[in-house]
Structure 1
Amino acid sequence: MSSLSDNIHVLARQEAFKDFSYFDEETVPANVGKLIPLQFLKPTSAIILTGYIPENASRFSVNLTCKTSGNIALHFNPRLDRGYIVRNTRLRGSWENEETCSPAGSSGCIFRRNSYMHLMIFCTNDAFQIAINGEHFCSFYYRLPLADITALEVNGTIEDIRTRQLNLFVYPDPNICRPSRTLILTTEEPLVDFLDVPITVGIGSEFRVGASLLIAGRLKLLPHSFYVNLQRGKTIYPHPLIPLHLNPRFLYGNSAPYVVMNCWNNGTWDHEERHQGHLSWMPGRDFLLTIRCEYEGYTIWLDNKMIGEFKHRLQSSIVDTLRISGDVVLYQLSMN
């Protein structure tokens, strides 16, 4: 009986491989649970991993382990049995604060049983950028230095693992990552479809004095944060110029929510501004966020109440892209 089920499993894997469009001929086979030595990691380093997720898969993890025993710089842990993904760091044998997120992508759940997956971990100056099946999925800010990382380790219910390491100078790299759907926002028509977060949208008309951007959506039930960038350029690396970075943060317990505003210029973040006070962000509730470009700066409105303003540090006219990421569901984007 076991030989029959083994044959069925092998056939299922072969069929799944036929549907896999991201096979990388330069990858080499690796074993589950064995350390795979890595060359020295630096910004522009990339690790590619492919593997088969079997029908009985419950969870697997991809770890970047360090020269200090017990330290893991990145623990990326899809839990198919629970429907979420954990990201974390382990320091001196103890786990730090974990970050969790939904495994949803632009075409449904990004990890499916009985299918192959392509995972890329790209190193920037301050974070790991993670792409799944050719689309950027999430970031994880460094908690341990890149120089400490020595090996890759894959555990759990995943098979036919193959890996390689390379350098990239653009991320997402169009030769490896397929460009996501091209969305353009104009004053003529709002966008209401294909608004899965994270999202990158081209702005089709100049964002100048008098322009308003309206973002209608819903805060997720257990929000940590989200951000809205008005930026120039669509790449994550090299880093785009960002005239406005708007980042609401929700801290439970004794802290009230607050909004961070900043701009990215000359290769670094400028000094940030924090806007506190009563904000009517409610988990699970709908909201309308409006960003107005005024003569001296941007004003930020939540529903019909102004919650902050940010003086221009870069010309608003350079903005050609809107990027939104984090714990929100989007209903509509519009400009007037």
Structure 2
Amino acid sequence: MTTISPVIVPYTGAIPGGVHQGLEIEIQGTVPHHAHQGFGINLCQGPQKEPTTTLHFNPRLNEHCIVLNHMQNNGWGGEERKPCQHFHKGKPFDLRIMVKPQMFKIKVNGQLVADFAHRLPKETAQFILIEGEVSISYIKFSAGGHGGGGRGHGAGFAPQPSGYMPQPSGYMPQPSGYMPQPSGYAPPFSQPSAPAYGQPYPMGAHAAPPQPGGQPIYNPPVPFTSSIPGGLAPGRMISISGVPHANPSRFSVNLQSGAYDGSDVALQFDVRFRFGDSVNTVVRNHCQAGGWGQEERGASHFPFMPNANFDMLILVEPQAFKVAVNNQHFAEFRHRLPVHAANTLNVSGDVRLTQVRFQ
């Protein structure tokens, strides 16, 4: 469970772990006495409503109604209108958004206000945006406890994004920052050591057995340093979700041999927005005995944006690290040090982490 307080409106922030079945969002707020038009609560793909908003919840005091809608490719869908009898000037309210398999179920002060059927895959929502004439005390995100939709491993578990996953048939591809759909599809890596997400690792010459640490770490502080449960071996994966700062210079993801300064680094993935003479460049390198190796900079695109969520997957293969960003292959970095020597993950720089997971 994550609680955000205080909340200054307008507010935009990443939803820890993204929207998934069983998530419950609780918003405690007050409609101010001077309110005239109303306010909006949006579950969006990015930090603003455009281009994709999965849920738009808009109490309109001047029209005495609640408008629900979605936005796709910068265009609004058809409005659904409900009576606005639960929001009163000067009065506090308790709003709950519960994510169900087929809909968002919305309650205000314990009373059902609306069931809004999913028009887009619910997982497209990664940010919450609150704007308008409203005061918010806190926002609370919890897994909920209805119908097996929480984050356990039982029926109904919606896995977190795990890399290259095909989009549902007929669904428009989303721009950078899109959170892939939970599924059991196998990422299209060539090595047999990369299993389908959520499936057991095959036992073989290049396969790692299941390791501890499979539960996500939400919103860790940066700089972030953690031992890698079970160490690295071919078949292991590390998924990292985060949001670069509004005016970033750089941030780095290191797989290294220890938590101390001067540790050998098997892989440094250094994202440079504007650092020295590097602009919108990702530098890959290694460090051994204090000496850095030859940089690798080649890339077809730069997948990171300020204030925009990213999902990174690092897959360990027998000969190289493979890195995917926002569901697309980005780079391959051949091993220069023994892969098992890297037992620590370190993330530092101009970034806010929303989730880290070792698989």
- TM-score of the aligned structures, taking structure 2 as reference length: 0.40
Structure number having the greater strand percentage: 1
Structure number having the greater helix percentage: 1
- TM-score of the aligned structures, taking structure 1 as reference length: 0.43
